[in-house]
């Protein structure tokens, strides 16, 4: 298969590309290498893929419709992961979320629709669309009209755009709602990375809000399993959850990192940030039925693999 991956220099894009290339597929990667976090880390991920057979990479912005369209030649499946992530940063620069997460997805949908036959589209939504929902676990059939952050609102807007393309043109698109993904090659803006870095440098960790807040933390290899299954199988669902289905409190996450690093954390307690949610918890039964998805890597193991990778990563 020939697969176009947008956001290929990103955390999840790198993991999906690596797996597909290892399995003998061709990958066309696209990314604009935004400086939201270290472009050096993005380049290191690309360098890791660079030696693999069947990989080509292009610096293109999803805002560039013609540039995007040109890369679709011969493509069987598009995995659209390019996005402006992060709940907190959306308070500082809301416009980049609109450009990339809403207009960017619209470009991808339109470019795919103009091809005959259209490639299948697998794209990244987010657990954040469940917003202030209280009933857990979160199911694909729950109402999602209470986004608590601008990031969540743009991901939900994307789901509605994809819904319209499916309705109007029968566009084959599945949106995957990822739940807090972590692991080697991860994202420096996320709590598990910041805590690990601070502990290793003997600095206090900054905790926003209550440590009783919980997240359904999902190991990168499990997410990659789910994405790759959605690439290879003709999925007809519109939305699927990909999570761990075993939420952990912030307190437990900190304890797990302390054990993996071998040092107790000094804490700076700060107020909860606007846009943060209390809990996330995925119902993954449908992904299990449709994709054979079954998360395998437990938190202790996943964090220990992350810490080992982090210690050895030369970009620190």
Binding site for ligand NAD (CB under 6 A): 6-7, 9-13, 31-34, 42, 61-63, 81-85, 100, 104, 124, 126-127, 178, 180-181, 187
Cβ partners under 8 Å of residue 192, min gap 6: 182, 186, 217, 253, 257, 303, 306
Structural tokens at position 102 = 């809403």
The residue whose Cβ lies closest to ligand NAD is 10
How far is the C-alpha of 30 from the C-alpha of 221, rounded, in Å?
A: 21
The C-alpha atoms of residue 195 and residue 186 are separated, in whole angstroms, by 13
| Residue 182 bears catalytic tag | no
**Closest distance to ligand NAD from the beta carbon of 7 (Å):** 3
CB of 86 to ligand NAD, least distance (A): 8
The smaller minimum CB distance to ligand NAD, of residues 12 and 122, is found at: 12
C-alpha 227/C-alpha 123 separation (Å) is 9
In the complex with ligand NAD, the residue whose CB is nearer, 39 or 170, is: 39
Per the DSSP assignment, residues forming a β-bridge with 122 are 79, 174
Nearer CB in complex with ligand NAD: 180/256: 180
Omega before 137 within 30 of 0, i.e. cis: yes
- Give least dist CB 8 to ligand NAD, A: 7
Question: In whole angstroms, how close is the CB of 259 to ligand NAD at the nearest point?
Answer: 22
Say which of 37, 89, 97, 151 is annotated catalytic: 151
Q: Which is nearer to ligand NAD, 34 or 210 (CB)?
A: 34
Sheet bearing 77-80, strands edge to edge: 55-59, 26-31, 2-6, 77-80, 120-126, 173-178, 239-242
Which residues are identified as catalytic? Answer: 151
């Amino acid at each position: 298969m020939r697969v176009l991956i947008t956001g290929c220099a990103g955390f999840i894009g790198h993991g999906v590309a690596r797996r597909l290339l290892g399995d003998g597929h061709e990958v066309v990667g696209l990314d604009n290498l935004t400086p939201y976090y270290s472009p050096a880390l993005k380049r290191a991920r690309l360098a890791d893929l660079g030696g693999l057979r069947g990989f080509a990479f292009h610096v293109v912005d999803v805002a560039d419709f013609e540039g995007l369209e040109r890369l679709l030649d011969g493509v069987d499946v598009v995995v659209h992961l390019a996005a402006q992530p992060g709940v907190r940063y959306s308070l500082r620069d809301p416009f980049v979320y609109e450009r990339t997460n809403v207009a960017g997805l619209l470009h991808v949908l339109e470019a795919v629709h103009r091809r005959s036959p259209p490639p299948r589209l697998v794209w990244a939504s987010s657990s954040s669309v469940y917003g202030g929902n209280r009933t857990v676990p979160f199911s694909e059939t729950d109402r999602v009209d209470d986004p608590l952050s601008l990031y969540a609102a743009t991901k939900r807007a994307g789901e509605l755009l994809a819904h319209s393309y499916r309705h109007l043109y029968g566009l084959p698109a599945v949106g995957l709602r990822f739940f807090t993904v972590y692991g080697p090659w991860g994202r420096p803006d996320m709590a598990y990375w910041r805590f690990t870095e601070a502990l290793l440098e003997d600095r206090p960790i900054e905790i926003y809000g209550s440590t009783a807040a919980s997240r359904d933390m999902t190991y990168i290899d499990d997410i990659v399993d789910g994405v790759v299954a959605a690439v290879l199988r003709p999925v007809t669902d519109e939305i699927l959850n990909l999570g761990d289905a075993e939420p952990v409190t912030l307190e437990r996450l900190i304890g797990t990192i302390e054990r993996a690093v071998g040092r107790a954390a000094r804490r700076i307690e700060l107020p909860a940030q606007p846009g943060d949610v209390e809990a996330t918890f995925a119902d993954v039964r449908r992904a299990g039925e449709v994709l054979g998805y079954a998360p395998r890597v437990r938190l202790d193991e996943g964090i220990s693999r992350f810490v080992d990778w982090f210690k050895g990563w030369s970009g620190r």
